[in-house]
Amino acid sequence: MNLTPKEIVQYLDKYVISQNNAKKTIALALRTRYRRMRLDETMRDEIMPKNILMIGSTGIGKTEISRRLAKMMKVPFIKVEASKYTEVGFVGRDVESMIRDLVVNAISIVKAEQEEANLEKIDNYVLNKIVEKLLPPLPQAASESKKDDYQRLLEAMEKRVLAGEMDDKVIELELAKINIEFNDTNLPPEMAKVQESFSKVFAAINKEDGKKEVSVKDARVLLRQEASAKLLDMTSVNAEALRRAENGGIIFLDEIDKIALSEKSQGRNDPSKEGVQRDLLPIVEGSSVSTKYGTINTDHILFIAAGAFHVSKPSDLIPELQGRFPLRVELESLTQETLYKILTQTENSLLKQYVALLGVEGVNLSFEDEAVRAIAQLSHRANELTEDIGARRLHTVLEKILEDISFNADERKGEDVVITSKLVHEKLDEIVENDDLSRYIL
């Protein structure tokens, strides 16, 4: 987490073009978390995260900014849609389940780190188990010369297993029963524990033979799971995950505008919308939520809410919830030039993806600069004439241009295929300008 706001923005620039205000705001929010963790405990508890409300049309980078940040920082992060939650008393998901989802995500991060730290032990466990099955141990009464010969055979067998020469050999494994975890985060933790208790009881009753015949290649995967379960201390993993979720967790609350009560659609509103907003208040403000791994306090979890706000406005949210999101960022609509930069300047851009995908078939695909500008121009035009879906329009436009080439790729192996401006206009001009066609095709 020790990155300056400038370094965070620099990283985001590789994946998201423009939206500098949003990048700065989120970079500062993350840097503030780092600063807070360096303070003494008394002051640390007083500093609350400044939750962010991002306002802007679909496809302009709201989710991408948050997703990339979580990946870079390796912090517990989940993206949820506000529209899937319902007020307590209605059938649907309870808002507290988002906190339980965050804890599950934190556990998977910490577990992966612990497995990485114990990689050598896990690898040795797997190797010893496989070699033991391929080369059964000598009896205790064996002579010293036999033991020396066996040791040489053992070393040779280890080398062959590591080289993958024995991957197709079938061995018989006795697998320990791994406890099934129920991660239905919509269930109250007490009910989840009851479910797990029942599963353990049934596993004990059903003492069927745990022997299984598998190839060495498949045995590696199964034994890694067994080694992980035996070598990792899940109590400390769960405790560390709870601590990280509390102090570094980020919840990206998308589609928050869908639970706002707009004046235009009063008659069609779901009566639970305002209830969902009221249920969110204590979670965002700070409260204790019970999970089956322990109680988590939500005081220092960072909430980033996002919405297009086409039908409703941020002021249509209840005042108490508005106050929980003090930082407001309005994202800009994408221009023709921005779409061109998205295609040419982002890491692993759509153009690079299509070149790589068709490269698998032996087709050498390339795009003329004029063609890329034509794609950006026609995508922007389609966004103006129909619904503005931002950068997502590039997916549909490129798929339409490359449809025939992709379909016949097996016949064009070894060919150099250049996408020209003329081809782009031939494929798209009529569709973009015809309103009906554009709505259904692009």
Mean pLDDT of 382-394: 84
Query: pLDDT per residue over 32-59, tens digit each?
Result: 888 888 888 888 888 888 899 999 888 8
Largest CA distance in the chain: 91
In angstroms, the CA 381 to CA 383 distance is 5
Q: Look-up: residue for tokens 């919509």?
A: 186
Q: How confident is the model over 409-430, as a mean pLDDT?
A: 88
List residues bridging with 427 in a β-sheet.
Answer: none
- Looking at per-residue pLDDT, the higher value among 430 and 378 belongs to 378
In 3D space, the residue among 61, 78, 72 whose CA is nearest the CA of residue 31 turns out to be 72
322: left (phi over 0), alpha (psi -120 to 50) or beta: alpha
- The tokens describing 131, both together, are 């070699």
Architecture of domain 336-428 in this structure: Orthogonal Bundle (1.10)
DSSP conformational letter for 263:
S
Compute CA distances 225 → 106, 121, 236, 321, whole Å: 19, 13, 18, 44
Does the structure show a pLDDT above 80 at 88? no
Using the predicted structure, report yes or no on whether residue 370 has a pLDDT greater than 90.
Answer: yes
Half-sphere exposure of residue 36: CA atoms within 13 angstroms, side-chain side: 18
Q: Where are the domains of the chain?
A: 5-110+239-330, 120-175+210-231, 336-428
Evaluate whether 346 touches 18 at the Cβ level (below 8 Å). no
**397 to each of 61, 364, 442, how far by Cα in Å?**
18, 20, 6
How high does pLDDT run on average in the chain?
Answer: 82
Instruction: Give residue 102's pLDDT.
Output: 92
Q: What is the pLDDT of residue 267?
A: 45
Both tokens of 83, joined, read 């529209």
What length does the chain have?
A: 442
* Better-scored residue on pLDDT, 189 or 302: 302
Mean pLDDT, residues 373-399 taken together: 87
Between strands 294-297 and 288-291, the pairing is antiparallel
Residue 128: name the closest of 220, 50, 3 by CA: 220
Bridge partners, residue 77, by sequence = 250
Residue of 84, 341, 334, 130 lying closest to 227 (CA atoms):
130
Is residue 358 within 8 A of residue 419, CB to CB? The reply is no
CATH superfamily of 5-110+239-330: P-loop containing nucleotide triphosphate hydrolases (3.40.50.300)
Which range scores top for mean pLDDT: 34-48, 201-215, 367-381? 367-381
For the segment 149-164, what is each residue's pLDDT rounded down to a tens digit? 777 888 888 888 888 8
Write the pLDDT tens digit of every residue in 148-203. 777 788 888 888 888 888 778 888 777 665 555 555 555 666 556 665 565 556 55
- Helix/strand/coil for 2: coil
Query: Which of 286, 189, 290 has its CA nearest to residue 247?
Result: 286
The DSSP string of 381-413 is HHHHHS---TTHHHHHHHHHHHHHHHHTGGGGT
Report residue 15 as tokens. 């994946």
Q: What are phi and psi of 216, to 5 degrees?
A: -60, -35
Cα–Cα distance, 396 to 262 (Å, whole number): 31
pLDDT in tens, 234-282: 889 999 999 999 988 999 998 898 888 776 655 445 557 888 888 889 9
Cα 352 off chain centre by: 22
Q: Which residues contact 199 (CB under 8 A, 6 or more apart)?
A: 179, 180, 182
| Among 198, 204, 196, CA closest to 180 | 196
What confidence score (pLDDT) does residue 240 get? 92
| Mean pLDDT score, 419-434 | 84
89 — alpha (psi -120 to 50), left (phi > 0) or beta? left
